[in-house]
Amino acid sequence: MKISLALLVLLLAAAWIGGQGMSFQSHRSNCCSQDMFLHKKIPEAKIQGYKYTPSTCTHKAVLVKLERGLVCVDPRKKWFQEYLRKKESNSTST
């Protein structure tokens, strides 16, 4: 009986620690390091979506969704700002 209770406690502790590790890991995967940034312009037709990285990240970035995955983009890039303006004007004109 004592062994069963001890095993249950260990399993619960492992599950809790594993869950904490996963949430930390997924948070970090939403951040971009300096060497992860794509510096060339992405054609608008290839952009499937985007989201800003959390404010807790070291570098401000936008995760741009492409057919082959996510890339990091500097949100201050002129081409990205133009993309946002076009997207905003298209959504307000419909």
Render pLDDT for 35-71 as a digit per residue (tens, 0 to 9): 999 999 999 999 999 999 999 999 999 999 999 999 9
DSSP symbols for 7-61: HHHHHHHHHHHHHHHHHHHHHHHTS--GGGB--SPPPGGG--EEEEPPTTSSS--
**Is residue 67 a part of any domain in this protein?**
yes
**Is residue 47 a part of any domain in this protein?**
yes
| pLDDT of the residue at 2 | 67
Instruction: With beta carbons less than 8 A apart as the criterion, state whether 66 and 52 touch.
Output: no
| 51 vs 48: CA distance, rounded Å | 11
Render pLDDT for 72-81 as a digit per residue (tens, 0 to 9): 999 999 999 9
What total number of domains does the chain contain? 1
| pLDDT of the residue at 29 | 67
**Is residue 84 a part of any domain in this protein?**
yes
**Is residue 88 a part of any domain in this protein?**
yes
**Is residue 79 a part of any domain in this protein?**
yes
Per the structure, the complete domain to which residue 88 belongs is given by 33-92
pLDDT at position 27 over 90? no
Encoded tokens for 14? 């492992």
CATH of the domain at 86: 2.40.50.40
Q: Whose CA is closest to 53, among 74, 80, 22?
A: 74
